[in-house]
């Protein structure tokens, strides 16, 4: 009888847990784990964490200090369960401020160090705005690894590779959401899924031009999207879909494979070219802005929770 699909996927792709749920990470044993403000909020709302979060909130200098303390506390717990990277996100409020992003990223790395987690274990997540990509370029020069998130366009992927970021997270499901809203009767199954097509294009571009940036497909709506990207460098998957894959048997073959690298990557995009290309892509422009707003909405909810706990 064939092995379950999750076991086969792990043999060809690095599986990352898209959750802040410690028990889910312990169960599925991914190589890496990635968090964002929405996932940190979910973890923070667990009753078992309430007393500890109250302590962190009361000790914090201000709300930013409290937010980062919570993120690093949860990230440090996760680091004990996975052998690879843990991704921790800079506040979405800083998505258009390069210098503030740099300061916050360095602070997060220092906090992790105080928890005994070295910079080689952490990916600092930054939105794939022009300002975020500029910050990531500098952080990589300083030896701080980055994960560029909310990536919806090929222009964003080009600029991230040019900046030498460690990893990019193209959002498969949110791309599909946009196209379904535009064409509700269209067939987007399998390889016709525009989110899947986007990741394949980015993957082929990186491998074909010898970029070392890791491609990690993210934001999946169904297991079919995941199976269509088997062989991708990394895939970050929710506990619900991890469970579905673990309980499903069948035969899985790689769908993405590296190409022979070319000698010379294309000319890098400058700021004007990047902004124009992003502006020309209505889906990417809308989903990037929406994604930043959604992350901030959940961050504000977390801020409210911590403010209540701080009052005691």
Q: CB burial class (10 A; 0-12, 13-18, 19+) of residue 193?
A: buried
Q: What is the chain's alpha carbon radius of gyration, rounded to the nearest angstrom?
A: 19
Give the contacts of 227 (CB within 8 A, at least 6 positions apart): 5, 9, 252, 255
Question: Where is pLDDT greater, at 2 or 21?
Answer: 21
- pLDDT for res 261: 64
- Contact between residue 139 and residue 105 where contact means Cβ atoms under 8 Å apart: yes
pTM of the entire structure? Answer: 0.94
Residues with catalytic annotation?
125
Give mean pLDDT, residues 92-101: 97
Beta bridge partners of 125: 89, 147
Using alpha carbons, select from 218, 222, 235 the residue that is nearest to residue 287. Answer: 218
Confirm if 149 and 91 have CB atoms less than 8 A apart.
no
Q: Which domain holds residue 265?
A: 5-311
User: What domain count does the chain have?
Assistant: 1
Instruction: Calculate the average pLDDT of the chain.
Output: 94
pLDDT digits (tens, 9 = 90+) for 215-255: 999 999 999 999 999 999 999 999 999 999 999 999 999 99
Q: Is 233 helix (H, G, I), strand (E, B) or coil?
A: coil
Summarised one tens digit per residue, pLDDT across range 201-216 is 999 999 999 999 999 9
**Cα–Cα dist 229/11, whole Å:** 13
Distance CA(63)–CA(66), nearest Å, equals: 5
Beta strands in 160-267 (DSSP E): 167-170, 214-217, 234-237
The 10s digit of each residue's pLDDT in 4-15 is 999 999 999 999
Q: Quick one: pLDDT at residue 262? A: 67
Q: How far is CA 221 from the centre of its chain?
A: 15
Q: What is the structure's pLDDT at 260?
A: 67
Task: Determine contact, residues 302/295, Cβ cutoff 8 Å.
Answer: no
Contacts of 121 (CB under 8 A, 6+ apart): 79, 84, 85, 86, 112
Q: Are 78 and 20 in contact (CB under 8 A)?
A: yes
1 has pLDDT over 60: no
pLDDT tens-place string over residues 29-80: 999 998 888 888 888 888 888 888 889 989 999 999 999 999 999 999 999 9
Question: How is the chain split among helix, strand and coil, in percent rounded to 5?
Answer: 60, 15, 30
pLDDT at 65: 95
CATH number of the domain to which 247 belongs? 3.20.20.70
Q: Where are the beta strands (DSSP E) in 90-180?
A: 122-127, 146-151, 167-170
Q: Residue 143: count other Cβ atoms within 10 Å of its Cβ.
A: 9
Helix H or strand E encompassing 155: helix 154-163
d(CA 48, CA 53): 10
Q: Are 147 and 171 in contact (CB under 8 A)?
A: no
């Amino acid at each position: 009888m064939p092995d379950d699909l999750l076991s086969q996927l792990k043999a060809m792709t690095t599986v990352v847990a898209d959750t802040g749920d410690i028990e889910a990470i312990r169960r599925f044993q991914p190589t890496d784990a990635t968090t964002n403000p929405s996932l940190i909020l979910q973890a923070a709302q667990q009753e078992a964490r309430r007393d500890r979060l109250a302590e962190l909130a009361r000790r914090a200098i201000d709300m930013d200090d409290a937010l980062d303390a919570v993120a690093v506390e949860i990230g440090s717990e996760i680091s004990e369960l996975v052998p690879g990277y843990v991704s921790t996100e800079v506040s979405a409020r800083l998505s258009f401020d390069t210098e503030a992003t740099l300061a916050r990223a360095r602070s997060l790395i220092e906090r992790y160090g105080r928890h005994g987690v070295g910079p080689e274990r952490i990916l600092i997540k930054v939105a794939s705005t022009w300002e975020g990509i500029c910050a990531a370029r500098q952080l990589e020069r300083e030896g701080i690894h980055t994960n560029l998130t909310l990536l919806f366009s090929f222009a964003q992927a080009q600029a991230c590779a040019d900046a030498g970021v460690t990893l990019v997270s193209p959002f498969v499901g949110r791309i599909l959401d946009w196209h379904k809203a535009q064409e509700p009767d269209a067939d987007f199954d399998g390889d016709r899924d525009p989110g899947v097509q986007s990741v394949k294009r980015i993957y082929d571009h990186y491998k074909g031009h010898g970029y070392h940036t890791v491609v990690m497909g993210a934001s999946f709506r169904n297991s079919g999207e995941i199976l269509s990207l088997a062989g991708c460098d990394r895939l970050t998957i929710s506990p619900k879909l991890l469970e579905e894959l673990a309980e499903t048997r069948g035969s899985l073959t790689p769908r993405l494979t590296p190409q022979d690298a070319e000698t010379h990557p294309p000319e890098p995009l400058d700021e004007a070219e990047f902004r124009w290309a992003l502006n020309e892509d209505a889906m990417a422009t809308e989903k990037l802005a929406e994604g930043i707003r959604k992350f901030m909405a959940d961050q504000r909810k977390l801020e409210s929770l911590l403010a209540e706990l701080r009052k005691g």
